């Protein structure tokens, strides 16, 4: 029964062509290893994305944390910081449409920078385990 519901929900989600769906598809297609995959594969990825709402000052990850998710910035600003002389130094500010972790997710690696919300933000997350299961990598 659950699997039938799961299939119907996936099929229903494919019919949406709203600005949010278009934004997610466009953002995913900007990741070089996803640009040429099938629409059905993009549909699968979208189905497994998880939305996280973050408060200003909240940290997504720190230097040394294992890379276990890809983050798609949906709203707000995410600051990319480095630690220099025990202080955080701003490297870059990422906004809507930016993706974090798409290269490192393919390797067994750790983050080499800090990602922190400057203000309230929303990000879509795709877990490494989900990506591996979807594409047998």
Crossing angle of helices 39-48 and 128-135, in 10° steps, is 150
Q: What is the pLDDT of residue 34?
A: 87
Domain ranges of the chain: 2-135
Q: What is the pLDDT of residue 115?
A: 97
What whole-number distance in Å separates Cα of residue 79 and Cα of residue 60? 10
pLDDT, tens digit, for every residue of 84-118?
Answer: 998 999 999 999 999 999 888 888 899 999 999 99
What tokens does 49 get? 């994305």
State whether CATH 2.60.120.10 applies to domain 2-135: yes
Residues of 45-76 as b/e, b for ≥16 C-beta within 10 angstroms? bbeebeeeebeeeeebbeeeeebebbbbbbeb
pLDDT exceeds 90 at position 81: yes
pTM, 2 dp: 0.83
Pairing label, strands 69-75, 50-54: unpaired
pLDDT, tens digit, for every residue of 1-42?
Answer: 456 765 666 666 666 677 888 889 899 998 888 888 888 888
Task: Find out whether 108 and 33 touch, Cβ atoms under 8 Å.
Answer: no
Crossing angle of helices 19-29 and 39-48, in 10° steps, is 110
What whole-number distance in Å separates Cα of residue 79 and Cα of residue 87? 14
Q: What is the pLDDT of residue 108?
A: 84
């Amino acid at each position: 029964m659950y699997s039938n519901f799961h299939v119907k929900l996936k099929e229903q989600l494919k019919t949406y062509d709203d600005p949010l769906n278009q934004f997610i598809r466009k953002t995913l297609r900007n990741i070089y290893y996803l640009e040429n995959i099938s629409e059905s594969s993009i549909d699968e990825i979208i189905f497994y994305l998880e939305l996280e709402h973050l408060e200003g000052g909240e940290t997504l990850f720190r230097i040394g944390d294992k890379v276990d998710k890809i983050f798609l910035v949906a709203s707000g600003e995410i600051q990319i910081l480095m630690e220099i002389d025990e202080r955080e130094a701003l490297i870059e500010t990422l906004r809507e449409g930016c993706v974090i972790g798409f290269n490192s997710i393919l390797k067994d690696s750790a983050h080499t920078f800090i990602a922190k919300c400057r203000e309230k933000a929303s990000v879509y997350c795709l877990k490494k385990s989900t990506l591996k299961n979807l594409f047998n990598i």
